[in-house]
Amino acid sequence: MRPVYSLSALALAMAVAMAPREADACGGTFCDAGPNTMPVDQTGENILFVMGDGFTEAHIQIQYDPNTEAAKFAWLVPMTLVPEFEVGSQRLFDNVLAGTVPAYGFNYQFDSCGGDTGATDPTAAGDGGGGDSSGGGETGDTGGPTVVLQQTVGAFDITVLEGGTAAEVMTWLGDNDYQQDPAAEPILEEYLAENYVFAAFKLTNGAQIGEIHPIALRFATEEACVPIRLTRIAAVDDMEIRTFFLADARVVPQTYKHVLVNPLKLDWVNFASNYKEIITLAVDAFEAEGRAFVTEYAGSVDVVAPDGISSDAWDASAFANLAAVDVIDTLTNQGLMFCEEFQKECVYRHALVPGLLAAYLPVPEGLSEYDFYSCVSCNEAMIDLEAWGDGTAFSAAMQQRIVDPGNHAASLLATYPTLTRMYTTMSPHEMTADPFFWANPDLPEVDLTQSLATRRVLCNGDAVWTLPDGREVYVPDDGAWPMIDAEMPYEEEVAQMTSSGAPQLLVDNKATIDTQLREYNCALGWPGNECGAADTGDDAGTAGTAGSAGSAASDGASESSGDAPGLDDGGDGCGCSSSGGAPGLALAPWLLVLAGRRRGGRRPR
């Protein structure tokens, strides 16, 4: 039995790091103050799976429009099993995102040429530009869906429906004040034909949008899946999807392909500001066909900071029978909030504290949040005593929404040694099959959180970029990232991932990429001691060469003399070569990408 969970949109960000290498041209090199990095935007929705022994948990971060009326919030999740429902931890999501976010960057390195490098330190001028537990029911007309579970979890009322027809499920949703889209009916029919059940969520009566929190679903099965089919009714083109996995080993796609991206297509000068576009083109490639993932991180869970996830100081019982005037001081003493006099604002250490206060200790009309919470006793006569009661309800809500989820999240991080982060983009017409995932203990780690390229500025003002995989790219006038070859593939590899052993390669473009990069570099005379006048690039891909894409710009290239750029007449000048050929750093399998044709209706190369 395979549980699945519905989500809307996810997102991403990426980073890279590598120490500057030595070069012996013109008597040595020197470096600037340090790396420049820019994380890729990672807004959107996220889902985190815990893959345990005999169970799977799905922690879903619910995104919403803050302008939506709370009474209209509704959400439907197709599942093959009825799970246990719990409140999830928002801080767990925040810290997982922060610990694994990729952020492309680079170190500067300058050839030393007798005090006149021919180039200034671009960092001084601000150079670098930013980048942007019941089985499924029978189908058929059975008099409508059966309600098999009703439960309140945190701020949500949850109802699990089984059986009936799609039309009957739609009727039930409408009768029970759930918003619905007529386009969902045929998709619901698909799930019903496969014996799925549905969990319908809406905010409890009186709950506000600010009280929305993650939900955790625990299933008695060891498989993880995202029911992307239902998402397509509201999806936009190239919707971002980000999934995380806590497990004993690295997790990979089972029913989708895995892609290794061609790093030469990324705009390294601008910190991979074109990242989403390149990922989209890579996963849209031949053999991937828009249903593939790239891996952004797979390794130790220690990258996730424990800060703010749980605390021994959190004590929900302290609020039972507590006077309302003492609530803010007690929250402050437990490290959950404080009001700052200089900025005249209240700072919250947990995302759900503002929602709880809004429900149980609301700000009186006419006062600002700071004015009230910074001195509740000063405004004691205006306290809504009916909302506060004796503090028992607040205490129970805090235990369920803050303390218990925090303790559980901390336990998960202490139990599962490996965290995997994967990313893709999909358009509605591609969302016809749900992705399933499994663990493969035989695969290497992937870490894009601390990887830097090296931007070596030569004495003539040109630059040579060494990417984290060891590939070198010549950039005339240290300018914009080159196109190299318009036909260079966006994907380096496309693979089918297994539950053990090495990936099964479906597309391998490495040799093609290396050949095109060699031809581009040699057209510009780099490296001069490896490119002959009649070089055809037939031996591309051997040691000391690597792949990249872009247009073969002529700026900075040698003329008919055949001299390499940056060389003096003796062929021994600034930037002529690196010592020992610069050892390459093997590219980790961090974004398996597909080669060949593009699907119709997508962007041209």
Tell me: the pLDDT tens digits for 366-389?
999 999 999 999 999 999 999 999
Q: What six digits make up the tokens of 453? A: 């390229």
Domain shared by 499 and 373, yes or no: no
Q: What six digits make up the tokens of 281? A: 């083109």
Confirm whether 503 is domain-assigned.
Answer: yes
Domain shared by 532 and 576, yes or no: yes
Q: Can you give the pLDDT at residue 457?
A: 94
How many domains are there within the chain? 2
Confirm whether 307 is domain-assigned.
Answer: no
Q: Can you give the pLDDT at residue 351?
A: 87
Q: Can you give the pLDDT at residue 39?
A: 56
Q: What six digits make up the tokens of 512? A: 């093609």
24-46 average pLDDT score: 48
Confirm whether 378 is domain-assigned.
Answer: yes
- pLDDT-based confidence at 134, cuts 50/70/90? very low
Q: Can you give the pLDDT at residue 65?
A: 65
Q: Can you give the pLDDT at residue 267?
A: 95
Q: Can you give the pLDDT at residue 252?
A: 98
Contacts of 236 by beta carbon, 8 Å cutoff, 6+ apart: 9, 427, 428
Q: Can you give the pLDDT at residue 177?
A: 84
Q: Can you give the pLDDT at residue 536?
A: 44
Domain shared by 169 and 275, yes or no: yes
Instruction: Answer whether residue 195 shows pLDDT above 80.
Output: yes
Confirm whether 13 is domain-assigned.
Answer: no
Which neighbouring-strand residues pair with 216? Answer: 59, 86
Instruction: Answer whether residue 601 shows pLDDT above 50.
Output: no
User: How far apart (Å, rounded) are the C-alpha atoms in residues 212 and 73?
Assistant: 10
User: How far apart (Å, rounded) are the C-alpha atoms in residues 246 and 417?
Assistant: 7
Alpha helices in 194-261 (DSSP H): 228-231
Residue, of 468 and 123, whose pLDDT is higher: 468
| % of the chain with per-residue pLDDT over 70 | 74
Confirm whether 590 is domain-assigned.
Answer: no
Instruction: Answer whether residue 584 shows pLDDT above 80.
Output: no
State CA 214 to chain mean position distance: 17
How much is the pTM? Answer: 0.76
193-216 average pLDDT score: 87
- pLDDT-based confidence at 64, cuts 50/70/90? low
Q: Can you give the pLDDT at residue 178?
A: 85
User: Strand 46-51 and strand 239-247: pairing?
Assistant: parallel
Instruction: Answer whether residue 569 shows pLDDT above 70.
Output: no
Instruction: Answer whether residue 42 shows pLDDT above 70.
Output: no
385-444 pLDDT, tens per residue?
A: 999 999 999 999 999 999 999 999 999 999 999 999 999 999 999 999 999 999 999 999
Q: Can you give the pLDDT at residue 580?
A: 31
- pLDDT-based confidence at 302, cuts 50/70/90? very high
If you average pLDDT over every residue of the chain, what do you get? 79
Which residue do the tokens 């099993």 mark? 81
Q: Which of 523, 528, 527, 546 is nearest to 466 (CA)?
A: 546
Instruction: Answer whether residue 345 shows pLDDT above 80.
Output: yes
Last residue of one domain, picked from the residues 410, 429, 459: 410
- pLDDT-based confidence at 73, cuts 50/70/90? confident
Confirm whether 598 is domain-assigned.
Answer: no
Domain shared by 119 and 246, yes or no: yes
Q: Identify the domain containing residue 443 by its residue range.
A: 25-302+419-581
Instruction: Answer whether residue 605 shows pLDDT above 60.
Output: no
Helix then strand count (H, E) for the chain reads 12, 26
Domain shared by 323 and 379, yes or no: yes
Last residue of one domain, picked from the residues 361, 387, 410: 410
Q: Can you give the pLDDT at residue 260?
A: 97
| % of the chain with per-residue pLDDT over 90 | 60
